[in-house]
Amino acid sequence: MSVGTPSLRPRTGTLSDMAPHEASVYPDTSVVSVGRPERRRGSALNPPIEMSSTFVGVHAPGADDYVYARFSNRTWEPLEEAIAQLEGAPLPALSYASGMAAVSAALSLVPIGGVAVVPSTSYGGTVGLARSLHDEGALELREIDPSDWNAAIDAFEGADFVWLESPTNPLLDVLDLPALIAAAKQRGALVAIDNTFSTPLRQRPLGLGADLVVHSATKFIGGHSDVLLGVLVTANAGLRSRLQQNRTLHGAIPGPFESWLTLRGLRTLAVRLDRAEQNATTLATRLTGRKELSRVRYPGLPADPGHSLATAQLDGYGAIISIEFAGGVTAAERFMEALRLITPATSLGGVETLAERRRRQPGEPHTVPESLVRLSVGIENVEDLWSDISQALDA
Ligand SMILES: *Cc1c(COP(=O)(O)O)cnc(C)c1O
């Protein structure tokens, strides 16, 4: 239509009053529909980015006013609403400057001198932070192997706070989360689950009884390796208001552009995850036949020790595979150097496949074998991925 041509569309007409997310039943629809601006004629489909540190106002701020962007701002809200709906929480999520800022906020719930149980198999940053808080005398840390049921139950006795992650990183053990959460709750502990690996599309810990869900949205939720952001979700209003106050005072807030990018990434989470899981299943199955490898861990493999729990507990097996080399660290390093399409890099959950020999990181626990390479499988064509992996194994 050329400029100046009168519009042939009717000037009047009605739009449904129903917000798009109210018409969504399935989570793979919700990732697309939640957090949209109100639907009015001519309104933008996407929420805008507001680059403003402060908001206009007179007299005392009211409860719902926007005053200063560290307290609240409109660019966070669609993302916080979307993650909460996906995790099944009735309250908006809280977003943070990084996953670790969210982890740190969660650990701030441990009372001074209180007891926190953290598995040694948790994300390295989380274990590192918990150890430093222990060394400073801020809390008493009990490190556990979460697959040792009796040791875990002993540690839960008298604990204030229990941290769990399943599947574990990078060994991909699947924990019996409903049983562990129930045991910790019975003993009066607050339970936080790091759900970064599974995303709310595969596992919803609040429904399993957890008090708090933590995400590094840097990984699958953002999905494009171009943003760092963390999220906390709870259904408990008292906890949420403590955490919100803590965030306002500590100031680890995400920027508006980061919030917007993360919401943009979330829109395609369902299709990215489906494709990455299909690729991971194919690759894990083919890797199992390779003589260069002593072990292939992927919960989707029927022979994997975590397979039956994963099938019962998760809505998908994820996109992370761990492989161990029969030829040890030298063979693993040779594999890493021979990769052409797959990028050697830390991190996970992006559209591109990444590989990392985890023990190259000095802080990686020694329970992780020296030759273990973690693959974060992306959404490329699986035959290109397999060609690259098999030529690198041949090298
Ligand atoms: C990456 C990661 C974190 C930390 O998130 P950042 O965004 O890097 O700060 C926490 N937990 C898990 C499981 C992670 O993979």
What CATH number has the domain bearing residue 389?
A: 3.90.1150.10
115-119 and 94-96 beta bridge pairing? unpaired
Does 241 share its domain with 97?
yes
Q: Are residues 144 and 184 located together in one domain of the fold?
A: yes
- Residue 93 shares a structural domain with residue 208: yes
Q: Do 206 and 347 reside in the same domain of the chain?
A: no
pLDDT of residue 12 exceeding 70, the answer is no
Regarding the beta carbon of 300 and ligand 1, being less than 6 Å apart is answered no
Active-site choice (204, 219, 247, 357):
219
Together in a domain, 190 and 213: yes
Bridge partners (DSSP) of residue 164 are: 193
Instruction: Report how many domains make up the chain.
Output: 2
Task: Specify whether the CB–CB gap between 248 and 254 falls below 8 A.
Answer: no
Residues 165 and 182 in one domain: yes
pLDDT tens-digit map of 94-103: 999 999 999 9
The greatest distance separating any two alpha carbons of the chain, rounded to the nearest whole angstrom, comes to: 76
Query: Are 200 and 122 within one domain?
Result: yes
Question: Is the per-residue pLDDT at 271 higher than 60?
Answer: yes
Mean pLDDT over 42-67 rounds to 89
312 located within any domain: yes
The answer on 390 and 303 residing in a single domain is: yes
Residues 255 and 276 in one domain: no
For ligand 1, atom 2, the nearest C-alpha belongs to: 216
Active site residue 123: yes
Quote the CA–CA distance of 260 and 227 in Å, as a whole number.
10
Q: Are residues 273 and 255 in the same domain?
A: no
From 66, 68, 70, 242, the catalytic residue: 70
**Would 378 be classed as within a structural domain?**
yes
Cα 362 to chain centroid distance, Å, stands at: 23
Measured from the CA of 197, which atom of ligand 1 is nearest? 13
**Is 185 among the residues known to form the active site?**
no
For residues 70-87, average pLDDT: 95
CB 161, CB 109: distance < 8 Å: yes
Q: Band of the pLDDT at 60, cuts 50, 70, 90?
A: confident
217 alpha carbon – ligand 1 mean position (Å) = 8
pLDDT, residue 2, reads 43
234: domain range?
Answer: 87-266
Choose which residue among 107, 123, 348, 354 to substitute to test ligand 1 binding: the one with the highest number of ligand atoms within 8 A of its C-beta: 123
What percent of the chain is modeled with pLDDT above 90?
Answer: 88
DSSP line for 108-126: TTSPTT-EEEEETTS-HHH
Catalytic-residue membership of 315: no
Percentage, residues of the chain above pLDDT 70: 96
Distances from the Cα of 341 to the Cαs of 139, 264, 290, in angstroms?
45, 26, 20
Residue 10 pLDDT > 90, yes or no?
no
- Please identify, among 239, 266, 293, the residue that sits at the C-terminal boundary of a domain: 266
374 located within any domain: yes
CA distances from 315 to 201, 300, 318, 320 (A): 7, 11, 9, 15
pTM recorded for the entire structure? 0.94
Paired tokens of 86 = 């996906």
Among 218, 224, 346, name the best residue to mutate to test ligand 1's pocket (greatest count of ligand atoms within 8 A of Cβ): 218
Q: Are residues 98 and 222 in the same domain?
A: yes
Asked if 65 and 59 count as a contact pair (C-beta separation under 8 A), the reply is no
Tell which of 234, 251, 266 closes a domain: 266
pLDDT band at 5 (very low <50, low <70, confident <90, very high): very low
Q: Among 36, 96, 142, 194, which one carries the catalytic annotation?
A: 194
- pLDDT band at residue 1 under the 50/70/90 scheme: very low
Whether ligand 1 lies within 6 angstroms of the CB of 169 is answered as: yes
Mean pLDDT of 68-73: 94
Q: Residue 249: is its pLDDT beyond 80?
A: yes
Q: If you take atom 7 of ligand 1, which residue's CA is the nearest one?
A: 99
Could you tell me if 132 and 254 lie in one domain?
yes
Rounded-to-integer distance, Cα 299 and Cα 74, Å: 39
Identify any residues that bridge with 95 across adjacent strands, giving them in sequence order: 231
Does 328 reside within a domain? yes
Average pLDDT of span 350-378:
95
Confidence bin at 61 (pLDDT 50/70/90): confident
> Rounded to 5 degrees, what are φ and ψ at 78?
-60, -40
Let me know if 194 is a catalytic residue.
Answer: yes
- Eight-class DSSP state of 94: E
**CATH code: domain of residue 136:** 3.40.640.10
Euclidean distance between CA atoms 291 and 287, whole angstroms: 9
Q: How far is the CA of 102 from the centre of ligand 1 (A)?
A: 9
* Domain membership flag for residue 314: yes
Q: Which of 204, 232, 266 is the last residue of a domain?
A: 266
pLDDT (tens digit, 9 = 90+) per residue, 303-346? 999 999 999 999 999 999 999 999 999 999 999 999 999 999 99
